[in-house]
Amino acid sequence: MSESIEGHGGSIEGHGGSIEGHGGQLALAGLAAFGVRELFTLSGGHVFPIYDAAHQTGVRIVDVRHEQSAVFAAEAVAKLQRRPGLAVLTAGPGVTNGISGITSAYFNGSPVIVLGGRAPQFRWGSGSLQEIDHIPLVSAITKLARTVGTTDEITGAVYEAAVAALTPHRGPAFLDLPLDVIFSFGATPAPEPPKIEVIEPDPDDVAKAAALLAGAQRPVIIAGSDVYAGDAVAALREAAETLQIPVFTNGMGRGSLPPEHPLAFSRSRRVALRGADVVAVVGTPLDFRLSFGDFGEAQVVHIVDHPSQRATHVTPAASPAGDLRLILSGIATGSGVSGHTRDANQSDHADWVSMLRQAEDAARAAEEAELTADTDPIKPSRVYGELLRVLDRDAVTIGDGGDFVSYAGKYLEPAQPGTWLDPGPYGCLGTGLGYAMGARLTYPDRQICVLMGDGAAGFSLMDVESLVRQKLPVVIVVGNNGIWGLEKHPMRAMYGYDVAADLQPGLRYDQVVAALGGAGEVVAKPSDLGPALHRAFDSGVPYLVNVLTDPEDAYPRSSVLA
């Protein structure tokens, strides 16, 4: 079979398993087998050959107004679709503008590929435009970072980068392509169909974890992003149902069990962690979101997708590392549990589950007043009370902000896995519109809704222009309290005053969106929220609902920084 893709002055030929073309064509050829259908970028001459290759091969070019949005969009694609998301950044400032996005992908274990331009190597050191060695800048925040030295190597290097990004523990990979390398022509063998290594867990580690969970009286599972990334949601559910273990979730793990599932819990986490005798944390680090793995008297089982992810600051009672499907299935079947069968050892934990259900129900009942609060100014919780009525079960919700997004995490309940995007433990503001772009491209027909603080809005709102131009409608709900709430309230509490924490009150972010070609409106009364949200989802354009919320309202939290 012979395939030919005509390029600008070149062609990519498949003759007996070899491909030829310019550097851009050779780069995209390296990703052909990975299902990459789009690239996110902001124009720069250093990477024109990649655009030419995309243009010729039907890879959609989605261009943005700040490189961080390109990387965040690629990350959303990677997170939601579990395949490489591609960002193409021009040399120098293009790459450095992408650094927060790459770092977020690194913290989130997202398989993002960043292809950077690079000043020509034939006169390296002479002071070419945008000449900087990116590799030292990105080495600490990628799984693989290197400069491709010859045109013939490009396909193989890109392929290798994609395999590295997809191999657990997943994460971003970076290549830069010097101007003289990418504009030249070369030839290379066609890559083999990719095989991603399945990491076999140590059976003794699995047996230890299985025995602890099977023998526990008051077990709890906390499932995080790698459960979704590792396609282990079904295995998680099997383990939870077989052993009757209550499940809490964070990150992309949210929605692994639908909210109505008898073992799905969210509000009673504190009660659960205080009362548990065994806590199994699956596919997420024992970081600040999980009190650093300190659950009082409970024994900790840390289940990770690669040995590198084992916590070093705690000593878990067991820590199986490897393919999460294998580990969770092993736990479900009592794999390697010696001395007794799982059934004989298993209790149904009925009292424990029902105690947690009572705590859960009580917390939910107490929230009702918050969700329906009819105050002036509007309480942020009321925004979520209204959204819960409007959102479809498969809606993708995205959080970008401080307190306003903490409420989103609390009140929005993803009904399916892979429908919630937050910035993850790196906590970078500004993910909002990039994530929305990636989500809209992934799901052309679903509701895509960004929950944004007014402060967070400043980082990416200009990319409404990119969304409008590329016909990617999304709904943006801004909790406009006129402050950097998650900073102002803590600073006041600490110092008795605050600085650098005020924004313009009542700012018309909706008019910004309208000026960029979208639409929007201000909402100042609780009763206007519902109709405004319906108009937003019906509008078919990027639409910003600018909700003026109460600046005195502070999300109740125990710790901000540690």
Ligand X SMILES: Cc1ncc(C[n+]2csc(CCOP(=O)(O)OP(=O)(O)O)c2C)c(N)n1
Question: Which conformational region is residue 341 in: left (phi greater than 0), alpha (psi within -120 to 50 degrees), or beta?
Answer: beta
Q: Which residues contact 558 (CB under 8 A, 6 or more apart)?
A: none
Q: Which residues contact 312 (CB under 8 A, 6 or more apart)?
A: none
Q: Are 228 and 418 in contact (CB under 8 A)?
A: yes
Instruction: Spell out, one character per residue from 56 to 95, where the chain touches ligand X: x when CB under 6 A holds, - when not.
Output: ----------------------------------------
Judged by beta carbon distances under 5 to 8 A according to partner kind, the member of ligand X, Mg ion, none in contact with residue 215 is none
Task: In angstroms, give the least distance from the CB of 101 to ligand X.
Answer: 11
184 to 213, contacts with ligand X by CB under 6 A? none
Judged by beta carbon distances under 5 to 8 A according to partner kind, the member of ligand X, Mg ion, none in contact with residue 418 is none
SS3 of residue 48 by DSSP: helix
Distance CA 562, CA 258 (A): 31
Task: In angstroms, give the least distance from the CB of 406 to ligand X.
Answer: 8
Backbone angles phi, psi at 41, to 5 degrees: -160, 170
**Could you say whether residue 402 binds ligand X (CB under 6 A)?**
yes
**Could you say whether residue 414 binds Mg ion (CB under 5 A)?**
no
Distance CA 180, CA 167 (A): 31
Give 317 or 373: the residue with its C-beta nearer to ligand X. Answer: 373
Task: In angstroms, give the least distance from the CB of 146 to ligand X.
Answer: 28
SS3 per residue for 306-374: CHHHCCCCCCCCECCECCHHHHHHHHHCCCCCCCCCHHHHCCCCHHHHHHHHHHHHHHHHHHHHHHCCC
Q: Mark the segment that binds Mg ion (CB under 5 A) among 196-204, 212-220, 239-247, 473-481.
A: 473-481
Give 117 or 402: the residue with its C-beta nearer to ligand X. Answer: 402
Using CB atoms, what's the residue nearest to ligand X? 453
**Could you say whether residue 399 binds Mg ion (CB under 5 A)?**
no
Distance CA 277, CA 246 (A): 13
Give 52 or 550: the residue with its C-beta nearer to ligand X. Answer: 550
User: Which of 70, 113, 235, 429 touches ligand X (CB under 6 A)?
Assistant: 429
**Could you say whether residue 430 binds ligand X (CB under 6 A)?**
yes
End-to-end CA distance of the chain: 59
User: Which of 51, 404, 411, 435 touches ligand X (CB under 6 A)?
Assistant: 404
The closest alpha carbon to 284, from 108, 74, 431, belongs to 108
Give the position of tokens 């997420």: 284
**Could you say whether residue 481 binds Mg ion (CB under 5 A)?**
yes
User: Which of 219, 251, 485, 542 touches Mg ion (CB under 5 A)?
Assistant: 485
**Could you say whether residue 550 binds ligand X (CB under 6 A)?**
no
Q: List residues binding Mg ion (CB under 5 A).
A: 453-455, 481, 485
List residues binding ligand X (CB under 6 A). Answer: 401-404, 427-430, 453-456, 479, 481, 483-487
